[in-house]
A and B are shown apart, each in its own frame.
Chain A
Amino acid sequence: MKSLLNPKGLIGLSLVTLFALMAIVAPIFIPEALSTKINVTARLMPPSFEHFFGTDQLGRELFYRVLLGAHTSLLIAVSAVTISILLGLPIGVLSGYFRGWVDHGLMRLVDTLLSFPAILLALAISAILGPNLQNTVLAIGIAFAPYLARIVRGETLKVSRLPYVEAARSQGASDLRIIRRHILPNIMAPVIVQATISVAFAILAEAGLSFLGLGTQPPTPSWGLMIQASRDYLDVAAWTALVPGIAVALAVLGLNMLGDVLREMLDPTFVSDA
């Protein structure tokens, strides 16, 4: 078994720790007002000693916005993935364990959702429920659930064919007990790996939704919203896009590296394309 103690693992771990800390600590020390303070006389200022990361089109400090944006973006991403697990795990386990018509029915549903363009689904959800933080979370969570359900189903199928599960069944253990004692513990590793990588994808999804104006609402700083706002000022103020863009890249990079190493550690045979 490999460990986290290799360059890739260490970089991943430290990036994730850094951003997690940023998300938790920054809101304690930086008042939100600093990130929403408008200054019409200092708009689109390039990064300098005075304006550390530069300012945006309303003269707000990108430094504070990107720091506090970590909180918004990661909160949304982690909550969304939690929802996708809450939805996808039971569907996947039921499908993989009971097979037969349960499996057929549930997988039709999952396929339908999968062949629906994910962004369309999210668009529809936030259009129906109204754009705000909770609904962004819900939209991403629901859009991600079918992928997770697919993976969980596959793992459950594999595990439930193992000899000791068969043995437990022949000894008359209840389905619930088998699922709780044998299936769930054995599929947790791939779920954790998938969750780590999904957080990365959720950060990107939040950015995409905000980019279309359907995610986080202003003036709350979020990375996606910042990139969206920078769109019209790219040629004159590239830093307004680069600052949040680099933040997204580093966080996602960290999560992906950590996910890779975790995957190799926990389950060397597991191959996922998600």
Chain B
Amino acid sequence: MRYLLNRIALLILTLLLISVVTFVITNILPGNVATMILGTRGSPETLAALEQKLGLNDPLLTQYGRWIWGMVQGDWGTSLRFKEPISQLMGQKMLASGIVVVMSLLIALVLAIPLGIIGAVKQNRWQDTLSSGTALLGISLPDFFWGIVLILLFSRGLGWLPSSGFVSPTEDFWLALKHALLPAIALGLSLMAHLTRMTRSAMLEVISQDFIRVCRAKGLGEGSIIFRHALRNAVAPVVTVAGLQLGYLFGSIIVVESLFNFTGMGWLTYQGLLNRDMPLIQATVFVIAAVFMLSNLIVDLIYTVLDPRIGLE
């Protein structure tokens, strides 16, 4: 319990640190949201007036204080560029990204675990080569390149799946999944590669351990050894990595979302960044970082449950 409290305190501390860093970075970035709002219709005169109106001339500490005070009261503020309440904007985009991230995690796990097992069980045989070859291919190309290939193949070529856009699952559940599928695959391939390799090496480690040898000596069938004993022990580290990657996926979603015109959190973050929309950048980065750290925390907890030998330090 004390461990948990400690972790949560640390989490809050790190989040605060992140919000400060984000704030500083966005302020160092050249330009501000007023220049973006006005574009090439902005004269020095209009620009000065708008900066004043948006409070961009206030001391940085005041601006930061205003933001953090709002956050404490549960008010995420309003996007300066888009004039929409940020909480409303983010709810929708979180749902979109959530669908893609969870789908890509599932796709990765569903592919990786069997591939990893085959690789380990048939170590150094052709099945192993095939499994690690697939894994290597997954991490050998950037996710946006896979995205491009997928669009060419399934959208332009075969016409099976839509190439872009987001549809809300409340509107049309199956269509929503269809829209999320290609981005999810593009995002999940490199993760699949990691997990395959993890599963394989974890399996190898477990197989070489004494208790498996004991099982073998007892004359248990190979299938039962693999699935009942080895897999259970090998799965813990794989889950860890998968969980750790959840946050990572959220972070790397920017490029994939932009490619698929999929308006989720990554897209929103990028919009905020491009428009120098301070409250929006703050909120999105904060949420992405929070998701990342929470997923780490949860994974650590699951890990200790799955494998009690790992003590809580």
Which A residues are closer than 8 A to B by beta carbons? Answer: 108, 111-112, 114-120, 123-124, 127-128, 200, 204, 207-208, 211-212, 224, 227, 231, 234-235, 238, 241, 245, 248-250, 252-253, 256-257, 271, 273
Contact = CB atoms under 8 A, between A and B. Distances in A.
Contact of B145 (A127, A200, A248): A248
B139 A211 contact: no
Nearest to A242: B149
- Chain B at the A interface: SS class: helix
Interface in B194-248: 194, 198, 201, 241, 244, 247
A119 B17 contact: no
Interface in B135-178: 136-137, 139-142, 144-145, 148-149, 151-152, 156
B233 to A, nearest CB: 15
A250 B145 CA distance: 13
A204 B138 CA distance: 12
Contacts of B140: 200, 248-250, 252-253, 256
B266 to A, nearest CB: 8
Contacts of B17: 108, 112
Given A112-B21, A212-B258, A253-B137, A119 B252 contact: yes
B50 interface: no
Nearest to A130: B30
B107 interface: no
Interface stretch (B34-42, B66-74, B109-117, B285-293): B285-293
A271 B234 CA distance: 14
B5 interface: no
A116 B21 contact: yes
A115 B289 contact: yes
A128 B18 contact: no
Given A108-B17, A208-B144, A120 B251 contact: yes
B255 interface: yes
A256 B293 CA distance: 28
A224 B144 CA distance: 10
Contacts of A231: 148, 259
Interface of B: 10, 13-14, 17-18, 21, 25, 28-30, 136-137, 139-142, 144-145, 148-149, 151-152, 156, 194, 198, 201, 241, 244, 247, 250-252, 254-255, 258-259, 269, 273, 285, 288-289, 292-293, 296
A116 B141 contact: no
Contacts of A235: 152, 156
B285 A116 contact: yes
B29 to A, nearest CB: 5
B141 A127 contact: no
Contact of A208 (B142, B152, B194, B292): B142
A123 B13 CA distance: 24
Contacts of A212: 254-255, 258
Nearest to A121: B25
A208 B255 contact: yes
Most buried by B among A212, A250, A273: A273
A116 B136 contact: no
A120 B141 contact: no
B251 A118 contact: yes
A256 B141 CA distance: 12
A212 to B, nearest CB: 7
B18 A112 contact: yes
A11 B209 CA distance: 31
Most buried by A among B145, B194, B292: B145
A257 B136 CA distance: 8
Given A234-B148, A235-B156, A271 B273 contact: no
Which are the 7 A-B pairs with shortest beta-carbon distances? A117-B251, A252-B140, A253-B140, A115-B292, A115-B289, A204-B142, A249-B140
